[in-house]
Amino acid sequence: MNAAKTKYKNLLKRYAAYAPQYDRKWGRYSAATLSKALEVIPLGDASALLDVACGTGLFAQMLRRQRPQLQITGVDISSPMLEKAMQRIPPLPGKVTWQLGTAEQLPVDSAQFDVLTCTNAFHLVQDAAKALAEFRRVLRSDGTLVLVDWCRDFPLMKFRAAMLRVFDRQRRQIRQLDELTGAIEAAGLAVESKERFRAGLWGMMCVVACNPQVPSSRMFDESKSPLAEHSMPVR
């Protein structure tokens, strides 16, 4: 197992078990959270979209119903989840591509995508600053990041975060909305909108940011990110 996957060994075991029943177990939650992402994505002139932590491909399926010509690339760390995605939508040359990889090391070229989405997963990313740098790298100038994640501003999510720290072996960081937007801005992305919302019992947040056209000398310095000092150990 390489170093990146060693960080996620507990998560990989979990999603290998989850994959066969994931859509059935989490269908209502997924529909609510992914609908929010779909609502805010600027698909008008977009030709290529990258879905990070794409899971079983449900979001790609929703996107294709609206924009069948959109080129979609899905990246996920879990092979069993990607297998479910490929069953849902078989790879289509030039239209749908599935790739194994992590948010911290995306297996795609730079400046390739008009939109990057990451839904319901950023709290699991072990090196958030590095992931945000990768998000910016692969977005085209004026490309859009849409990030939907758990939000610690809700009292129930504060309680959930406390319980997970005690009982869950997979480390995660459930952030407040201002904490997330600050990290995104530190990565050199310009926040365009932010909001909190509920998905059943889950407190969520949605942030939309743009990758501005800036000189290379002003590119993101990972060491200055507010997340750089808070990398999460994994037991």
The pLDDT confidence band at residue 109, using thresholds 50, 70 and 90, is very high
Burial (0-12, 13-18, 19+ Cβ within 10 Å), 83:
middle
Structure confidence at residue 166 (pLDDT): 81
* Strand boundaries in 77-138, DSSP class E: 96-100, 113-119
CA dist 15 to 10, 19, 21, 50, 69, Å? Answer: 9, 6, 10, 21, 30
Phi and psi at residue 183, to the nearest 5°: -65, -40
* Strand boundaries in the chain, DSSP class E: 48-52, 71-76, 96-100, 113-119, 139-150, 190-199, 202-210
Burial (0-12, 13-18, 19+ Cβ within 10 Å), 98:
buried
Burial (0-12, 13-18, 19+ Cβ within 10 Å), 223:
exposed
Q: Which residues, at least 6 apart from 131, have a Cβ–Cβ distance to it below 8 Å?
A: 52, 102, 103, 104, 122, 125
CA dist 227 to 98, 104, 157, Å? Answer: 29, 13, 20
The per-residue pLDDT for range 32-59, each reduced to its tens digit, is 999 999 999 998 889 999 999 999 999 9
CATH number of 3-230: 3.40.50.150
Nearest to 134 by CA among 113, 101, 103, 109: 103
The per-residue pLDDT for range 183-230, each reduced to its tens digit, is 999 999 999 999 999 999 999 999 999 999 755 444 445 444 555 544
The residue type found at 209 is A
pTM recorded for the entire structure: 0.88
Burial (0-12, 13-18, 19+ Cβ within 10 Å), 37:
buried
The residue type found at 17 is A
Structure confidence at residue 59 (pLDDT): 97
Domain range summary for the chain, segments of one domain joined by + = 3-230
> How many Å apart are CA 51 and CA 72, to the nearest integer?
7
Whether 71 shows a pLDDT value over 60: the answer reads: yes
